[in-house]
Structure 1
Amino acid sequence: MLERLKRDIEVVFDRDPAARSSLEVLLCYSGLHAIWLYRIANYFFKRGWVILPRMISNFGRFLTGIEIHPGATIGEGLFIDHGTGVVIGETAELGDNVTLYQGVTLGGTGKEKGKRHPTIGNNVVVASGAKVLGSFTVGDYAKIGAGSVVLREVPPYSTVVGIPGKVVCMYGEKVNRPEVDLEHGMLPDPEMEMIMCLQQTVLMLEDRVTQLEEELKRKYDSESV
């Protein structure tokens, strides 16, 4: 247990440059507290308890602002940065070294039974305010941009942005790096690209209209003469 706690603290130091001391991390990181409370709740949930693990989960939400259902499956190395508003549903599955920022929801889309929450692969980064909704897989090393709403499967080594989320970048080769890529701020903007394309089209049409007007004017002047 002590080794696991040590590993949890090391994860914070690996991914948060603001962490300065083990005592600070131990006392002040709500994401860490939420994970520890989840593990206690999950222990009882797996043994058939219902009310007690849900009460522990509710206490964790009250204490940290993070709601993790005790039935969720979470791998090693989860890091929840800041964390307020994070929700992880009952049938969600998270791989190793997943990073979640504040406001992330791993939820369902209806009242269906069984598997209804997403499966998140290894080394995935889900940025602030992103919503991943439904029973599908987000592949390893994927990145979900801030504010995105993802409703379908995400391939490995890809970047998804927008509402609904669209894959805008896929790495052509395998990433041979053991560390988690946290660079989620510099992402493509498909909406801006579309606006720029429309602007270029409008300019071309304006030039064409001007050209036609000049031709008609010259034709009218020649006929008048």
Structure 2
Amino acid sequence: MSLEIAASTTETTEYFKNPSFWRLISEDITCVFQRDPAARSRWEVATLYPGIHAVALQRIAHSLWKRNWRYFPRFISYTARWWTNIDIHPGAKIGRRFFIDHGACVVIGETAEIGDDVTLYHGVTLGGVSWNKGKRHPTLGDRVVVGAGAKILGPIELGNDVRVGANSVVVRNVASSKTVVGIPAKVVQRNTARNDNPEGIDLNHHLIPDPVAGAIQCLLDRIRLLEENAGKRGCLHVAEDDDGEECHHCDARDLCDDDLTSPTETTIHFKNRKQ
């Protein structure tokens, strides 16, 4: 009896570790309802979502690729690209419950690896930056969300629960639970957002600060501090006898005009320069 139970447990474990093709597709369809409020029925998702079609064809092509087939898997990939406008190399390793929202112009390279519950929006590229035939494409952990138009380049790793802002270019490793934005992408402190999704998938990748605006604000605060220490507020006075070629007025008058109300007091921390 104990042997039967052990055998049954082993079969169940193997079933979940190595699910069948139809189970993978069923999970891909089901996960759409967790991340797309426009989805209405499984039939609609199965027949009208290009991301589902592209992933299903890639799973077929990948199974053949692992058996050392080369031309036919590439032909399936080519057909999927023509049909869905999504280009996924048959050599890419894709986890479970993978969702490509809208799906237009997504490119995933040969050695890319994608974990479970990953979401990509349109225009995303998981590309390579090397001619080497080895690992040259990114590795994405579980529950990663990549915003529209983002590019993740090279054999880098993105940890679990990473969020990539739209149109960012990621060229370095990103630790788990971080949000990156910009060109090149940098880690930013994400504002805590309420997760309204009852399925537990947090898609609020747009709730991120603007690091460029933050840097400009820091510079403005620094200039204001220096002017106050020098006993001067507003734009610097230009001598009447100065006949130089520089402009004699300030184009940034809206930023340094004395009539503007003083900004909210902010504590600024400057790095100590090493001697």
TM tier, shorter chain? 0.7 to 0.9
Are 2:108 and 2:126, in contact at CA under 8 Å, matched by a contact in 1? yes
Matches within 5 A, 1:28-67: 28-67=48-87
Distance 1:29 1:97 in 2: 17
Q: Which runs of 5+ in 2 are unaligned?
A: 1-20, 192-197, 238-275
Structure 2 residue matching 1:210: 3-state secondary structure: coil
Report what 1:21 is aligned to: 41
Scaled by the length of structure 1, the TM-score of the pair is 0.86
Distance 1:209 1:58 in 2: 69
Please tell me the residue identity of whatever aligns with 1:113.
Answer: K
Deviation at 1:21, TM superposition (A): 1.3
Distance 2:29 2:172 in 1: 33
Q: Which runs of 5+ in 1 are unaligned?
A: 172-176, 215-225
Distance 1:61 1:199 in 2: 49
Deviation at 1:55, TM superposition (A): 0.9
Deviation at 1:87, TM superposition (A): 0.6
Please tell me the residue identity of whatever aligns with 2:214.
Answer: E
The answer to whether 1:74 aligns with 2:94 is yes
Report what 1:113 is aligned to: 133
The answer to whether 1:210 aligns with 2:243 is no
Distance 2:133 2:190 in 1: 33
Aligned residue pair count? 211
Structure 1 residue matching 2:126: 3-state secondary structure: strand
Report what 2:265 is aligned to: none
Deviation at 1:68, TM superposition (A): 0.4
Structure 2 residue matching 1:156: 3-state secondary structure: coil
Are 2:190 and 2:208, in contact at CA under 8 Å, matched by a contact in 1? no
Residue number among 182, 198, 209 corresponding to 2:219 in the alignment: 198
Scaled by the length of structure 2, the TM-score of the pair is 0.71
Deviation at 1:200, TM superposition (A): 2.4
Question: How big is each residue's C-alpha offset from its partner over 1:35-84, in whole Å with a ceiling of 9 and x where there is no partner?
Answer: 01101111211111111111110111111111000000001010100011
CA RMSD of aligned residues (A): 2.5
Distance 2:163 2:116 in 1: 14
Residue number among 151, 156, 180 corresponding to 2:201 in the alignment: 180
User: How has the CA–CA distance of structure 1 residues 178 and 119 changed in structure 2, closer, same or farther, with 3 Å as cutoff?
Assistant: farther
Higher relative contact order (CA closer than 8 Å, sequence separation 6+)? 1
Question: How big is each residue's C-alpha offset from its partner over 1:86-143, in whole Å with a ceiling of 9 and x where there is no partner?
Answer: 1111000001000000011111112122000111000110111111101121000111
Residue number among 25, 31, 46 corresponding to 1:11 in the alignment: 31
Stretch deviating more after TM superposition (202-211 or 103-112): 202-211
Distance 2:232 2:22 in 1: 76
Distance 1:5 1:70 in 2: 16
Residue number among 188, 207, 210 corresponding to 1:168 in the alignment: 188
Please tell me the residue identity of whatever aligns with 2:149.
Answer: G
Are 2:34 and 2:201, in contact at CA under 8 Å, matched by a contact in 1? no
Percent identity of paired positions between Structure 1 and Structure 2: 51
Are 1:157 and 1:170, in contact at CA under 8 Å, matched by a contact in 2? no
